[in-house]
Structure 1
Amino acid sequence: MVILKGDERLDYLLAEDLRIIQSPSVFSFSLDAVLLAKFVRVPVHRGSLVDLCSGNGVIPLLLSTRTKGHITGIEIQQRLYDMAVRSFEYNALTDQLAMIHGDIREIPKEIGFSKYDVVTCNPPYFPTPSEEEINKNEHLAIARHEIMCTLEDAVRVSSQLLKQGGKAAFVHRPGRLLDILSLMRKYRLEPKRLQFVYPKEGKEANTILVEGIKDGNPDLKILPPLFVYNKNNEYTQEVSRILYGEK
């Protein structure tokens, strides 16, 4: 039994056989979050993981099928936090998954420095525009723009949370590639794996996935490209497996 509020609905995460509460009036999860949850390397049997800018908790839900470790999501928006908590309860995952309603910039002081094995983050992608340009929907504005946290905040906090040798993984836009790699090195997160995601063959990349290791040795590997759609504008086999599971 799940209590839905207002315009909320209960959607499927098909590959994982889970359900998630979503709402059209707040920022719903995108393919980027699903790709990040699939991309990051996680300990299988144990470990402590943190998901920053967690939204409605989609990444912790997805990761729960890949690891038995404990996963904590951090979300500053009360409504999204509440949706995530109820999704975790509906899927009977409250022993493994938890949410904290808070500002990621303050979270290391609350949950501890240098304690975690993995940190994931799907941060706001865009600099804060002028008041005239910003989305009038506060939920969408905060999710899309660097109002409550910047890319540097996300990278710095990830490093503060991680143990030496811990992994941080981010999803972002290719236009910020140099920024994110520079910031990772600034905060001792050595970039180790990078993947470009393309809408289809012949198009420019529109997403990057990058993973670093705290105090790791320099050795960046560029993974094979990931194409989302084929020439028939259908999901490629690889993306279809990620979204819907093996058929």
Structure 2
Amino acid sequence: MRTTDPATDLTNDAFLGGQLTLTQPASGYRAGVDPVFLAAAVPAQSGQAVLDLGCGAGAAILCLGRRVRGLRLVGLERQSVYADLARHNARMNALAMTVHHGDLEQMPAALRQDRFDHVIMNPPYFRRDRGTPSPDTIREGALGEDTPLTAWLDQATRRLLPGGHMTLIQNAERLPEVLRAMDARLGSVVVKPLCPRVGRAASLVIVQARKGGRGAFRLAAPLVLHQGDTHRTDCDHYRPEITAILRDAAALAIA
């Protein structure tokens, strides 16, 4: 469900079947189902600390905070409009969250000194050297990459405690870049493809790794989102397990 305030050009959008409400810009970058899948894949437990790099309006980390109670939630966002929205959304949903305004390549001092059990991120999907940039500067800043994936992975790894998990979602075509960006500090890598339908190529991947992990690389079975082989009627046709993730805040098993 969505409501729009014409005076502010913001919308209030329901996530997790109405368990969470997020205020977002009516135009520009808007969170959809991707951050919900990201949040569902994080194996967090109550009492742990989570950092969301590039948290936007807070969709992923607040979905995680709603699913797992008792987490310490921290976000980093370089665009002030989204950092303010993330703070607002945390308050509106009665979830304690600290949001830092800053760039991951110039990490705020408070974050440089902090360590986390989990670092999550939804890096920009599109390289700026490919395609046409969006004329909307805020949307382009969220979707168009000008900080390389190597920097995202390096900063995430630095912020992790030993044994901590890094979890990210990215376009499937950029999986080779994600894997190349990892170094020996990360191991036990699992890749979970997300496919629109049976027989269709994966459009997204969730990648999870552990700091200091020594397990073998695993390519997990794909998560198929929709029932049937095509979109036949005006409804989502999500498979039951996907509906449970999107509506009921169910966890997503990576392996």
Q: What TM-score do you get using the length of structure 2 for normalisation? A: 0.86
User: What displacement does 1:108 show?
Assistant: 6.2
Moved more, 216-225 or 65-74: 216-225
Q: Distance in 2 between matches of 1:221 and 1:108?
A: 34
Choose from 141, 150, 153 the match for 2:151.
153
Moved more, 164-173 or 21-30: 21-30
How many residues of Structure 1 are paired with residues of Structure 2 in the alignment? Answer: 238
For the pair 1:118 / 2:118, whether they are aligned, the reply is yes
- The aligned counterpart of 2:226 is 229
- The aligned counterpart of 1:21 is 23
User: What amino acid is aligned across from residue 208 of structure 1 in structure 2?
Assistant: V
- Equivalent positions of 1:38-117 (< 5 A) are 38-42=40-44, 44-65=45-66, 66-94=68-96, 97-107=97-107, 109-113=109-113, 115-117=115-117
Q: Counterpart of 2:145 in 1: which secondary structure?
A: coil
Q: Distance in 2 between matches of 1:45 and 1:62?
A: 14
- The aligned counterpart of 2:196 is 199
What is the CA deviation profile of residues 56-77 of structure 1, one whole-angstrom value per residue up to 9, with x for unaligned ones?
Answer: 0011211112241201011111
Contact 2:102 / 2:108 at 8 angstroms: preserved in 1?
no
Q: Distance in 1 between matches of 2:218 and 2:133?
A: 37
Moved more, 104-113 or 204-213: 104-113
Contact 2:54 / 2:123 at 8 angstroms: preserved in 1?
yes
Q: Counterpart of 1:63 in 2: which secondary structure?
A: helix
Q: Which runs of 5+ in 1 are unaligned?
A: none
Choose from 182, 203, 210 the match for 2:207.
210
Choose from 158, 162, 165 the match for 1:164.
162
User: What amino acid is aligned across from residue 177 of structure 1 in structure 2?
Assistant: L
- TM-aligned CA distance change 1:190 to 1:108, over 3 Å: farther
Q: Distance in 1 between matches of 2:59 and 2:76?
A: 12
What is the CA deviation profile of residues 166-222 of structure 1, one whole-angstrom value per residue up to 9, with x for unaligned ones?
Answer: 1101111121212211212x2611143210000111111000001001111032233
User: What amino acid is aligned across from residue 199 of structure 1 in structure 2?
Assistant: P
Q: Which runs of 5+ in 2 are unaligned?
A: 232-236, 250-255
Q: Distance in 2 between matches of 1:191 and 1:153?
A: 20
User: What amino acid is aligned across from residue 116 of structure 2 in structure 1?
Assistant: Y
